Chains A and B, each alone.
Chain A
Amino acid sequence: MQNVRVEKLVKRFGEVVAVAGISFEVPKGKLLTLLGPSGCGKTTTLNIIAGFETPDDGDVHVGERLISSASESVLVPAHKRNLGMVFQSYGLWPHLRVRDNVAFGLQMRNTPKNEIAGAVERALGLVRLDGLGERYPSQLSGGQQQRVAFARALVYEPDVLLLDEPLSNLDAALREEMRLELKELQTESGITTIFVTHDQVEAMVMSDIIVVMNEGRIEQMGSPSDIYQHPANQFVAGFVGISNFLEGEVVATGASEAQTAVKVGEVPLLCKSTGVSEGSKVLLSIRPEDCVASLEAPPEGTPNVIECSVEKAVYMGGVLELWLNAADQKIRVHGHRLPLLESGASVYVSIDPASINAIKGSSLS
């Protein structure tokens, strides 16, 4: 088990900069997720680490071993990097039995035959596929193929496990199940893992560290709760979960947490922020589920109450999805235990100051 260090990685495809000098570190035994929309450079980054793409600049270390460095002209070929990888479409070899698929990596490492059999059995047991070794991949279900891919990647105890959107080919129910199973597997085996996905829920559930990427750059890096609760900028707030954005101006900075006063149009709101100065423009990010909507005015003294008019209301089962006009800006709110409201009706929305993030210097884009 090793940590992975990626330093100032750059990859260009002609004019397009796919990866623009990113750096991050995966601590030993942790799972780091590269999260971002398609084309953000996450897969390119993974392919550079795996050895399928040649970086234009930057270094990659696995433990103390330099496996890729543009400046020092080091490029260890993929087959000598001792990594495990699970591919989007699994990449199981259709002409080999499950057993031989799993054994392949050990054969490449010249493991003695008698040891291979045992190791393959253990690996298949680990992913709960005992007894299916004689099958061909095409005779397995999608979820089972997925597990074979894991067994194949883990059997030779690689330094690092790379996961390239491994859940995206599964249907929704199975995906949810595999998510948890995968996380358990990773924690149990304690293998350092880099996971690539565009699915924020997947990233939330599985990661120790999330790296949010956009246009080849890192927008934010942190724990899942950090990313969700304290998005560093509008992109992160918008990409991870749904967010409302309100433009405002700081009127007073408070002494304690969640005491910054911001004026949105004529409506004063309290929110949390760090390092904003009076008079500066900020962008408030508010999650729909953090808003409490009610037909009657909340009791006196409740902070951040906005009277809004309903523009559109859609019944969604458990919640009423409301599009509201608040201080001449649009917000989206999840209403609980409310009747189906007509457009034009008026509702009160209150928001806990601690769940409003003021992102400095931003304007709505």
Chain B
Amino acid sequence: MTEMRPRSFAMFRLPSTVRVLEWGCLLVIGFVVLYPLFWLVVGSFRPDPISSDFTLDAYFAIFEAEYMGEVLWNTAVMSAGVTSLSVLIGVPLAWIVGRTDTPLRNYINMIAILPFIMPPVVVAVAWAYLGTPRVGFVNLFWKWLAGTKEPLFDIFTMGGLIFVMALSLAPYVFIFTVTAFKNMDPTLENAAHVSGANQWKTTLRITLPMAAPAILSGALLTFIQSLEVFAIPATIGVSGGIYVFSTQLWRMMLGIPPNFSHAAAMSIPILLVCGLALWGQTRALGRSARYTTVAGKSFRPRLVELGPWKYVALAFASFYLLVSAILPVLTLIYGTFISNRGRPPTFEYLTLGHIHEIITGDGGAVILRSIQNSLFLSFMGATIGIALSAVVAYFVVRSTWKGRGTLDFLALIPVAIPGAVIALAMLWAYIREPFNLYHTLWIILIAYITRFLPFGVRSVSNSITQIHEELERAAAVSGANWGVVFWKILVPLAMPGIVAGWIILFVSMMRELSASIMLFSSNKEVISTILIQLYDEGLFSHVCILSLIIVILSLGSVAMVRWLTKQKDVEGLT
């Protein structure tokens, strides 16, 4: 009983079935990611979506447009400011948590999950309420404290925009940097001490330079995110008359008639910048992995004893948590239960009326419908997305096929595409034959799956990497073919990662805004678009309730993911 085989046949897999699956997977991912981008590029050379003429008009038009200079300048100032401020916040926090004896540092470490609990849209609306010059809660408190009539600050400025964005994005710098700090081989620092360097010199000359690639990696991701995040420029920026790239794109699409070609033309350079940043980010990350000792060896890095300074460090970290999470959440709780905005939160002014209003549908029908839509989209999207991710992750991690590098790269691309640009590309690609998906939930679904594919793939591939290859080989030797190995061994063992990935996708989709806002249509609203709509209408309590729902959903999911990852440890998978 023998079989013919191609020369590159590897491992125990049935060559035909597996190769077909690998090609199929590559084609699906390639299509999902590249087809819209193709239409985006084509679209930028056409006068309108229906025409098939070739023209450079759109490029000239945006180049000459008077708003362009201002939008470019705003975007540059914002991105540079947000990236720098995030590094200034994130790196010290990472050092405090990873390398000092600051009390409560394990709690401060929660910053790592903050972006997951506090999506930008929530931070944005909460800070809009906190930082309004006249009636913002922080300013009211300041006026009372200082006894003046002058507000402390105005959030609807470039400074305010940068401040809120950095609050929201600093955790990315933190996550990358704290990992590097924690995985650093302590002997390298001990060697510096022995050579005569004191604590500060060691930190400045050894510790920080070794963490530099990780810091750069986090900073570049923050930069990409600063172009990508839509909620904060759309609330705080637009309220202050500050338009940046993403909100400008939105403005073009809202125009009557929407200016598809100009929007497409404006997206191309941003796409290139993001692509470049992503390329730099992966390179920096690879470099960082070389600088730190990864898995296998476990040691406790040496902690710096800060003495009385540890209370300063604690105060710094607490202040960050206060402004990025505690104050916003308090605002939302206040808004949910207070009868009228501005009332003191005493018992007589508390009410369940706003919640009642939404549930009974008095003006809440739209809200309920949007929650339904979001639940449907997120459930479907997470399920399809994670199934696709599992197959992609399996081939990327385990296959010896030459195409796996391409597959890996394709599945990473969406990280570098701002949601608004994905949405625009989707519009170009799917409103035409043979899809005709305009004004449907399906186009939003495809956009969600495309956008969050990289997160699903990463979650599952982390999990598969931890499964010892001998477990699959043992099954193969025992007589299991490829399909049996996949279903009976791999999927059960990777289940914690698959479920965690599903939850991550679900939550990300529940609150997605930047693509949804371009793709939704009437009756097809989702939670986040309604949230922005309610904010624009000034419905304070409704905004707070909806935001609180998002926060609670996110918190629950984080708890689930944590629990699942713990389960994995207990089972002792190696």
A window 53-112: CB within 8 A of B: 54, 65-67, 73-85, 87-95, 104-105, 108-109
Q: Which of B42-50, B87-95, B184-192, B466-474 contacts A (4 or more CB under 8 A)?
A: B466-474
CB of B204 within 8 Å of the partner chain = no
Establish whether residues B489 and A79, one from each chain, have CB atoms under 8 Å apart when the complex forms: no
| Contacting pair B474 A91 (CB below 8 A) | yes
Residues of B within 8 A of A323 (CB): none
Which chain A residue shows the least CB distance to B493? A95
A14 to chain B, nearest CB (A): 13
* B residues 31-89 in Cβ contact with A at 8 Å: none
Contact B471 A93 (CB under 8 A): yes
Interface residues of B in 459-507 (CB under 8 A from A): 468, 470-471, 473-481, 484, 488-489, 492-493
- A52 on the B face (CB < 8 A): yes
Evaluate contact between A152 and B478: CB separation under 8 angstroms. yes
Say whether B479 contacts A105, CB under 8 Å: yes
Among B12, B480, B492: residue with most chain A CB under 10 A: B12
Q: Which residue of A lies closest to B472 (CB)?
A: A91
**Do A75 and B5 have beta carbons less than 8 Å apart?**
yes
Q: Is A227 an interface residue (CB 8 A)?
A: no
Decide if A50 is an interface residue (CB 8 Å cutoff). yes
Number of A-B contacts (CB under 8 A): 104
Q: Does A195 contact B (CB under 8 A)?
A: no
Q: Choose among B14, B473, B474, B572 the residue with the greatest number of A CB atoms under 10 Å from its CB.
A: B474
Cα separation A109 to B8 with both chains bound (whole Å) = 28
Given the complex of chains A and B, what is the CA–CA distance between A77 and B12 in angstroms?
A: 5
Q: Judging by beta carbons under 8 Å apart, are A85 and B3 in contact?
A: no
Cβ contact within 8 Å between B470 and A87 = yes
Distance of A96 from chain B, by nearest CB (Å): 8
Enumerate chain A residues within 8 angstroms of B480, measured Cβ to Cβ: 79, 104, 108
* Residues of chain A lying within 8 A (CB to CB) of residue B489: 93
Give bound CA distance, A81 to B2, whole Å: 10
Q: How far is the CA of A15 from the CA of B320 in the complex (A)?
A: 54
Question: How far apart are B60's CB and chain A's nearest CB, in angstroms?
Answer: 51
Chain B residues with Cβ below 8 Å from A76 are 1-3
Contact A104 B478 (CB under 8 A): yes
**Given A93-B471, A105-B478: A78 and B12 interface contact (C-beta under 8 Å):** yes
Contacting residues, chain A, for B12 (C-beta < 8 A): 51-52, 77-79
Cβ of B11 within 8 Å of any chain A Cβ, yes or no, is: yes
Please determine whether A91 and B468 come into contact, CB atoms closer than 8 angstroms: yes
B315 on interface, CB distance cutoff 8 Å: no
Q: A52-B12, A104-B475 are in contact. Are A79 and B2 (CB under 8 A)?
A: no
B477: chain A residues within 8 A (beta carbon)? 50-51, 78-79, 81, 83-85, 153, 162
Closest CB-CB distance, A148 to chain B, in whole Å? 11
Q: Is the CB of B478 within 8 A of A87?
A: no
Most buried by B among A65, A67, A85: A85
Interface residue? B573 (CB, 8 A) = yes
Chain B nearest CB: distance from A138 CB in Å?
A: 4
> Do A85 and B479 touch across chains, with their CB atoms under 8 A apart?
no
Tell yes or no: B348 within 8 A of A by CB.
no
Bound CA span A52–B573, Å: 22
Q: Mark B310-338, 1 if CB is under 8 A from A, else 0.
A: 00000000000000000000000000000
Q: Closest CB-CB distance, B92 to chain A, in whole Å?
A: 40
Which of A66, A73, A85, A95 meets B474, CB within 8 Å?
A: A85
Q: Does B13 contact A (CB under 8 A)?
A: yes
Q: Tell me if B481 and A77 are in contact (CB < 8 A).
A: yes
A108 with B473: CB separation less than 8 A: no
* B464 CB to nearest A CB, Å: 14
Q: A-side binding surface: helix, strand, loop or mixed?
A: mixed
The closest CB in chain B to the CB of A82 belongs to B479
Please tell me if the beta carbons of A94 and B481 are within 8 angstroms of each other in the complex. no
CA of A152 to CA of B10, assembled, Å: 25
Q: Which residues of chain B are near A74, meaning CB under 8 Å?
A: 2-5
Task: Please name the residue on chain A nearest to B470 by beta carbon.
Answer: A91
Q: How far is the CB of A92 from chain B (nearest CB, A)?
A: 8
Chain A residues positioned under 8 Å from B279 (CB to CB): none
* Bound Cα distance A186, B11 (Å): 27
Q: Is B5 in contact with A78, judged by CB distance below 8 angstroms?
A: no
Contacts of A83 in B (CB 8 A): 477
Q: Does A150 contact B (CB under 8 A)?
A: no
B537 at interface, CB cutoff 8 A: no
Residues of B within 8 A of A156 (CB): 478-479
Residues of chain A within 8 A of B493, CB atoms compared: 93-95
The reply to whether B573 and A78 contact each other, CB–CB distance below 8 Å, is no
Chain B residues whose C-beta falls within 8 Å of the C-beta of A95 in the assembled complex: 492-493, 571
A78 to B14, CA, bound (A): 10
A54-B9 CB under 8 A given contacts A73-B4, A104-B478, A156-B479: yes
Judge whether B195 is part of the interface by a CB distance below 8 angstroms: no
Beta-carbon contact of B492 and A79 below 8 Å: no
- The distance from the CB of B549 to the nearest CB of chain A, in whole angstroms, is 36
Give the complex CA separation of A84 and B473 in angstroms: 11
Question: In whole angstroms, how far apart are the Cα atoms of A250 and B223 in the complex?
Answer: 78
Instruction: Say whether, besides A104-B480, A138-B571, A75 and B3 are in contact (CB < 8 Å).
Output: yes
Contacts of A50 in B (CB 8 A): 473, 477
What CA separation (Å) do A321 and B1 show in the bound complex? 58
Say yes or no for B574: interface residue by CB 8 A criterion: yes
A93 → chain B, closest Cβ, in Å? 6
How many whole Å from A159's CB to the nearest CB in chain B? 12
When distances are taken between beta carbons in the complex, the residues of chain A under 8 Å from B492 are 95
What mask results when residues 561 to 574 of chain B are scored 1 for a CB within 8 Å of chain A, else 0?
00000000001111
Contact check, B473 vs A77: say whether CB atoms are below 8 A apart. no
Bound-state CA distance A67–B7 (Å) is 15
Shortest CB-to-CB span from B489 to chain A, Å, is: 6
The 6 closest A-B pairs by CB, nearest first: A78-B12, A108-B479, A91-B470, A91-B474, A105-B478, A78-B476
A and B contact pairs by CB, cutoff 8 A, 5 listed: A78-B477, A79-B477, A81-B477, A89-B468, A94-B493
Residues of B participating in the A interface, judged by any CB pair closer than 8 Å: 1-5, 7-14, 468, 470-471, 473-481, 484, 488-489, 492-493, 571-574
Binding site for B on A (CB under 8 A): 50-52, 54, 65-67, 73-85, 87-95, 104-105, 108-109, 138, 152-153, 156, 162
